[in-house]
Amino acid sequence: MRFDRIEEKLEILADAAKYDVSCSSSGSKRSNKNKGLGNSDGMGICHSYTPDGRCVSLLKILLTNHCIFDCAYCVTRRSNDIKRAAFKVQEVVDLTINFYRRNYIEGLFLSSGIFKNADFTMERLIQVAKKLRLEENFNGYIHLKSIPGASDELMREAGLYADRLSVNIEIPTVSGLKKLAPEKDHSDFIKPMKKVKNEIIQYNSEKKLIKSTPKYAPAGQSTQMIVGASGESDREIMLSANYYYKNYNMKRVYYSGYVPISNDPRLPSLGSQVPMLRENRLYQTDWLMRFYGFDVNELLNQQFPNLDVEVDPKLSWALRNQHQFPVDVNSAEKEMLLRIPGVGLKSVHKILQARKFRKLNYDHLKAIGVALNRARYFIICDGRGWEKQDLSASRIKSLILRNSAGKFRKEYSSQLSLF
Amino acid sequence: MNSPKCLLYDGTFKGLLTCIFVAFDEKLEVNNILAPGIHKTDIFAENIEVITDETKAKRVWHGFQKFANHRSQNAVYYAYLSELPKIELDILRYFQHTFKSKANIHGDFTNKHVLKIAQTAKKVGREKHRMEAFVRFQLTKDKIYFANIEPDFNVLPLIEKHFTSRYSDQQWIIYDLKRKFGLYYDLQKAQIIQINFSKNLSLSEEKTRIFDTSEIEFQKLWKKYFEATTIESRINTRLHIQHVPKRYWRYLSEKNPLHK
């Protein structure tokens, strides 16, 4: 291996891949067979975290940053004057194996700029995955990017070696995409997504009959949307996310606050803030939809098209729906416990177990890990009535804000500090 | 006879189970159980030295298994590995509570001992997971992948399975510097080893003598990758440290200046 050359390429091609936020390495069921290398049958592991706080679990690189497209929001766009590089297939294989053996990573996340055409690029990505699986007997995690417009045959082959496939939708609305990436067609994104979805459905039904059916993308597919590049409301973003969850069985939709990278007048200018708080609220909404039984329309609708930045979306929902409270912690159904602000999935689980033994009071809830500073306005439990029933929503909100320290507080506290 | 007793045991899990057996058998009121090297705080309690006895330990464990499910059993073992002061006493209370209720008590979080055991087990589980993440192997000239660790809790017994099944085609050693023992996997199975390190291990000539010539190059690549993947405009040191506490940094090659 020519280490100096590799180092140069790695720097360029890791830098270009870093805006892809997906880092998940879980959800696959590939175990180590015949004393091969690696497994990805358990939970994912974050082997390190970058100084920006994001997890590093996969070697996330582009095969090349040469690209025939010129999408305004992308660093590797054709018109951008940057250093270009390309890995050879074998170089990516060697890097992956050597990093994996040292326990640096869970596997490979390989994406690419589009050179020549979609199929040519997709073919190269598949070559890497195939070599890793067949020649190196590698059972670690492989995430391949589905190149928009790639043919069905290639998508079929990709799923045989990869654990996860993803196409980044990038711009949540069709009109936004037209504006920022006029050369790309929305249907090109959908095509590989649809193929992968159908293959997974087919695999699952064949698996029931024939046990040895070769695995197809066992960790499913995911996508990503840029937030704050083309002026969508939170509602538009989450409706779009909901659409992909429902219609394409997405395992995950990622939200990526737009990091300004160009002076293009269609986009937020260089030096403007990355909307990290907004991104955080969108993820919270995503979780409420997937794990807490909320419908997207309860959280975001025509009347409330954007999320409240000051408080989390569940609290914000509860404040608008005070008639559903208080909830009696000792008798309420699980579905309703999940809707109490300050009570997470784990607390709900513990409450359900612990209340079999005795009635729970404030101290018990606190020991269990419930955030009482928020929950107290919405619950009744043993030994304590519901004292806060006469408080208005805005009063409760200001009490909660005053008695807690949010990590993003400094970003919106300028008005509050006057009082 | 009714004065509180302090049991001294050898620090092994079987030893602790023997203590629990003795406490039941002789109806002792126990207010402390101590491993070697830990000094007691209550000077009035009478010391009793308990000799580890496999049969007694097994009887207690089997009795416990009758009521406790897999979760409870794991929680107790994990809590024991925490080596936290006084955790033995919580384990004893956990057993007493189980035998008294004749039921699995894992969910009874309003009992402070049950909650303590559950929370401690959680901490140990977290440390186990961290070690699975933060171990950084270095390839030696003998083609053995070698890593040092210094975990807060004694998690080496817990991570054996993970590393054996993941790296089944390479030889590796994970060595706990704090507790002075390690695991060596020889392509067949993992076994416990002890190493006498030479004093100059930290010197760079010593390192070049031991480690493969490509080793430093891969560390460089990894560090380069780590730096390139950071987004400057999103730097969030608080979050970074929350995920990778500083005490682990010395073993992470990406967080350190390279030797040589």
CB A236 within 8 A of CB A180: no
Task: State how far the Cα of A394 lies from the Cα of A400, in Å rounded to an integer.
Answer: 10
Task: State how far the Cα of B138 lies from the Cα of B173, in Å rounded to an integer.
Answer: 10
A2 phi, psi to nearest 5 deg: -85, 95
DSSP assignment of A122-140 equals HHHHHHHHHHHHHTS-B-S
Around Cβ A216, how many Cβ atoms within 10 Å? 22
0.95 cut: is pTM over it?
no
Helix (H, G, I), strand (E, B) or coil at B34: strand
A271-296: pLDDT as tens digits: 788 888 999 999 999 999 999 999 99
Helix (H, G, I), strand (E, B) or coil at A108: strand
A148-164: pLDDT as tens digits: 999 999 999 999 999 99
Chain B: closest CA distance from residue A166 (Å)? 20
Question: What ipTM was reported for this prediction?
Answer: 0.89
Q: Which residues of B touch A54 (CB under 8 A)?
A: 231, 234
A40-54, A220-234, A295-309: least confident range: A40-54
Strand spans (E) along B55-202: 138-139, 144-149, 171-176, 181-185, 190-193
Q: Give the pLDDT of residue A384.
A: 65
Helix, strand, coil % over all residues of chain A, rounded to 5: 40, 10, 45
* Contact (CB<8Å) B230/A18: yes
> pLDDT > 70: what percent of chain B?
93
Contact status of A33 with chain B (Cβ, < 8 Å): no
Output DSSP code: residue A7: H
Contact status of A6 with chain B (Cβ, < 8 Å): yes
Q: Which of B225, B230, B239, B242 to mutate to test the interface with A (most CBs of A within 10 A)?
A: B225
| Type of residue found at A77 | R
Q: Give the pLDDT of residue A415.
A: 45
Chain B: closest CA distance from residue A3 (Å)? 7
A205-209, A415-419, B216-220: least confident range: A415-419
* Contact (CB<8Å) B221/A3: yes
Angle formed by the axes of helices A152-161 and A118-134, nearest 10°:
20
Give the Cα-Cα-Cα angle A307, A310, A313 (nearest 5 degrees).
Answer: 40
Q: Which residues of B touch A55 (CB under 8 A)?
A: 243
Helix (H, G, I), strand (E, B) or coil at B7: strand
* More reliable by pLDDT, B258 or B92: B92
Cis omega (within 30 of 0) for bond into A326:
yes
Smallest Cβ distance to A101: which of B129, B170, B236?
B170
Q: Give the pLDDT of residue A54.
A: 85
CB contacts < 8 A (A, B): 155
A105 phi, psi to nearest 5 deg: -140, 165
* Contact (CB<8Å) B221/A6: yes
Task: State how far the Cα of A17 lies from the Cα of B70, in Å rounded to an integer.
Answer: 43
B65-74: pLDDT as tens digits: 999 999 999 9
Helix (H, G, I), strand (E, B) or coil at A93: helix
| Cα–Cα distances in angstroms (integers) from residue A392 to residues A285, A379, A413, in the given order | 24, 15, 22
* Contact (CB<8Å) B132/A360: no
pLDDT of A199 above 70: yes
pLDDT of A417 above 60: no
Q: Tell me the average pLDDT of chain A.
A: 89
Q: What band does A126 get if pLDDT is binned at 50, 70 and 90? A: very high
> pLDDT > 70: what percent of chain A?
95
Strand spans (E) along B10-73: 30-34, 46-49
> pLDDT > 90: what percent of chain B?
66
Smallest Cβ distance to A364: which of B107, B110, B136?
B110
Burial label, B34 (beta-carbon count in 10 A; 0-12, 13-18, 19+)? buried
Smallest Cβ distance to A53: which of B106, B218, B236?
B236
Smallest Cβ distance to B226: which of A3, A56, A357?
A56
Smallest Cβ distance to A11: which of B111, B228, B244?
B228
Span(s) in chain A for CATH 3.20.20.70: 3-299
> How many angstroms from the chain centroid is the CA of residue B107?
24
Q: Which residue has the tokens 């053995």?
A: B144
Chain A: closest CA distance from residue B171 (Å)? 10
Q: What band does A416 get if pLDDT is binned at 50, 70 and 90? A: very low
DSSP assignment of A15-83 equals HHHTT-------S--B---TT-B--B-S-----EE-TTS-EE-EEEEESB---S---TT-TT-TTS---
CATH class of A3-299: alpha beta
Q: What six digits make up the tokens of A85?
A: 């590089």
B75-86: pLDDT as tens digits: 999 999 999 989
| Type of residue found at B48 | I
